[in-house]
């Protein structure tokens, strides 16, 4: 806003070249989106949706659509998160999914639980339920049976 008076008298092609140079990183991202598609497909969909809506509609509506789509994917990913119990691979310090790896074994008295989603208020009940389900215990039932 402070530079408006300075660039007011520049010809439009000069201003356009300033915008193009400022957006060169965005243009490079377009060519590297195949690597993003292979690495994380959901992030690729967010980028493609936002980019397409900015090009087809305009910048304001495109960014709004991109933010709404991003929020939708965050909520959906957190509500249907994968979780599993992990076991230690014999002879190493690596932990892998029990049942998927034959060499993974359960450590007696210890449960290693992996929840593949950010933990926040919207999926906290899902997290607690998955722990109870995976470990086979429910502390609420234990408290109800306990005599004070």
Q: Which of 79, 97, 114 is the last residue of a domain?
A: 79
User: Which range marks the domain in which residue 115 is found?
Assistant: 83-145
Range of 45-54, 120-129, 130-139 with top mean pLDDT: 45-54
Residue 145: predicted pLDDT: 64
**What would the mean pLDDT of 100-120 be, rounded to a whole number?**
83
Q: Which of 34, 54, 79 is the last residue of a domain?
A: 79
Phi-psi region of 118 (alpha: psi -120 to 50; beta: other; left: phi over 0): beta
What is the residue-averaged pLDDT of the chain? 81
Residue 35: predicted pLDDT: 76
Same domain, 37 and 88: no
Side-chain-facing half-sphere of 71: CA atoms under 13 Å? 6
Domain total in the chain = 2
Same domain, 22 and 36: yes
Same domain, 67 and 11: yes
Helix, strand, coil distribution of the chain in percent, nearest 5: 60, 10, 30
Same domain, 66 and 115: no
Same domain, 45 and 59: yes
Same domain, 61 and 119: no
Q: 110: pLDDT confidence band, cut at 50, 70 and 90?
A: confident
Residue 7: predicted pLDDT: 65
Same domain, 24 and 38: yes
Q: Which of 79, 99, 126 is the last residue of a domain?
A: 79
Q: What global pTM score does this model have? A: 0.54
The yes-or-no verdict on residue 1 having pLDDT over 60 is: no
Residue 123, class by beta-carbon neighbours within 10 Å (0-12 exposed, 13-18 middle, 19+ buried)?
Answer: buried
The yes-or-no verdict on residue 87 having pLDDT over 70 is: yes
Range of 63-67, 105-109, 114-118, 120-124 with top mean pLDDT: 63-67
Residue 32: predicted pLDDT: 75
Residue 91 DSSP SS3: coil
Same domain, 54 and 35: yes
């Amino acid at each position: 806003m402070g530079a408006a008076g300075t660039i007011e008298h520049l010809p439009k092609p000069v201003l356009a070249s300033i915008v193009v140079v400022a957006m060169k990183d965005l243009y490079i991202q377009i060519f590297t989106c195949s690597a993003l598609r292979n690495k994380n497909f959901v992030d690729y969909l967010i980028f493609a949706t936002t980019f397409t809506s900015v090009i087809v509609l305009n910048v304001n509506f495109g960014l709004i659509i991109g933010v709404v789509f991003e929020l939708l994917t965050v909520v959906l990913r957190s509500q249907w998160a994968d979780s599993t119990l992990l076991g230690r691979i014999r002879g190493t310090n690596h932990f892998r999914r029990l049942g998927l790896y034959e060499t993974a074994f359960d450590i007696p008295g210890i449960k290693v639980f992996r929840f593949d989603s950010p933990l926040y208020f919207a999926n906290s009940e899902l997290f607690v339920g998955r722990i109870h389900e995976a470990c086979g215990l429910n502390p609420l039932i234990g408290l109800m049976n306990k005599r004070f």
